[in-house]
Amino acid sequence: MRYVIIGAGAVGGTIGVRLAQADREVTVVARGAHLDAIRARGLTLRQPDGEVTARLTAVDRPGDQPLPADTVLILTVKSQDTAGALAAWVDAPVVGGGTAGERLPLVTAQNGVANERAALRLFADVHPVCVWLPATHLDPGVVVANGYPHPGMLHIGRYPGGADDTDRAVAADLTAAGFVAPVRTDVLRWKYGKLLSNLGNGLQALLGRDIPDALAERVRAEGVAALAAAGIAHTSPEEEKAERGDLVGQRPVDGEARSGGSTWQSLARGTGSTEVDHLNGEIALLGRLHGVPTPANVAVQRAVRRAVRERIGAGAFPLAELEKMIA
């Protein structure tokens, strides 16, 4: 199989370079200065045990030529960019006839749980991935991956449930590329567990590393209550910790620890949008559907949107202001 990585940021860049190093054919999709840098110098992946630069084919949209029939699309854009990415690729022609949406598997290696439903409206064959991959993308042409001894753990399965030969084949390629890639028939249960941990992303983006324990616990507790009311199963922190074990930890790269999570990176880069409405916003949605109050998660949404709008730097939102918004 050959791979098109739609979104060559922290997650997509790490997956793309590692697959290329394992001799898989990889095309990455990027934009702006990042695309220009990859075309000019390659995509550099900095890791705890050194760095490597891969010269990858880089594009910003489907080309004029049909995609080979053995192509796998891996969607790694943040959730707020999913709709645009799906629209751009769904009607891409495939060798032998038909379109990408009709014929090619789409792997959703993204935070949140709304991407798969959106994808299934357009793509017939959708494969969710629960992503544990500590990486950072702040500078054009460069991704820093702190995962060690493996760069990440990527659970994969089918949507809405089950697993098939495509999952096993992709998992085999990811394993060859150095990842831990379990195939799970209940991959959504893992993704909902990851969603609960991602509820802290917005807090980190707002407050940096000085997050009061009580506030983090309240945001998560609202999420647990909303999932329970909706009857949605999820993994527990204990199960997740046991699964990762010593397989995926974090180590400094060139003496520096990971700067921050995905939402923090969006504020730090000034991208103009974040995934908060698909993380904390998912809990707000479920709370409203099932009669569960979620004021802390709603406040995090509002505060992050305000930080984007007012260009408040990552970690610079006043704690007192956030607490006032929750109250």
Q: How many domains does the chain have?
A: 2
* 94 and 205 share one domain: no
Phi, psi (degrees; rounded to nearest 5) at 259: -70, -50
Contact between 124 and 106 under an 8 Å Cβ cutoff? The reply is no
Question: Which amino acid belongs to residue 150?
Answer: H
- Residue 202: is its pLDDT beyond 90? yes
Cβ atoms of residues 107 and 127 within 8 Å: yes
Three-state secondary structure along 103-144?
A: HCCEEEECCCCCHHHHHHCCCCCEEEEEEECCEECCCCCEEE
> Distance between CA 54 and CA 52 in Å, rounded?
7
25 and 87, same structural domain? yes
Choose the final residue of a domain: 185, 208, 225. Answer: 185
Task: With cut-offs at 50, 70 and 90, classify the pLDDT of residue 82.
Answer: very high
Going by pLDDT thresholds of 50, 70 and 90, the confidence category of residue 179 is very high
pLDDT, tens digit, 9 for 90 and up, residues 3-36: 999 999 999 999 999 999 999 999 999 999 999 9
The whole-angstrom separation of Cα 52 and Cα 46 is 7
What is the total residue count of the chain?
Answer: 327
Check whether residue 139 and residue 209 sit in a common domain: no
The CATH number of the domain holding residue 88 is: 3.40.50.720
Domain boundary residue, one of 165, 185, 205: 185
Residues 113 and 231 in one domain: no
Same domain, 220 and 316: yes
Number of H helices, E strands in the chain: 13, 13
Give the residue-averaged pLDDT of 63-79: 97
Q: What is the CA radius of gyration of the chain?
A: 19
- Average pLDDT (248-275) is 94
Using 50, 70 and 90 to split pLDDT, how confident is the model at 259? confident
Whether the Cβ atoms of residue 109 and residue 142 lie closer than 8 Å to each other: no
Given CA atoms 82, 106, 153, 226 in this order, what sign does their dihedral have?
A: positive
Range of the domain at 170: 2-185
Are both 295 and 154 inside the same structural domain? no
Give 45's pLDDT tier (boundaries 50, 70, 90). Answer: very high
266-306 residue pLDDT tens: 999 999 999 999 999 999 999 999 999 999 999 999 999 99
Same domain, 19 and 124: yes
Q: How far apart are CA 308 and CA 310, in angstroms?
A: 6
Mark whether 59 and 204 lie in a shared domain.
no
CATH number, position 281: 1.10.1040.10
Under DSSP, the state recorded for 143 is E
Residue whose structure tokens are 């003496």 = 255
**Domain end point (choices 170, 185, 200):** 185
Q: Distance (Å, rounded) from C-alpha 47 to C-alpha 251?
A: 9
Mean pLDDT, range 217-237, rounded to an integer: 98
Dist CA 209 CA 205 (whole Å):
9
C-alpha distance across the termini of the chain, in Å: 52
Do 144 and 220 lie in a common domain? no
Within a 13 Å sphere around the CA of 208, how many CA atoms are in the beta-carbon half? 9
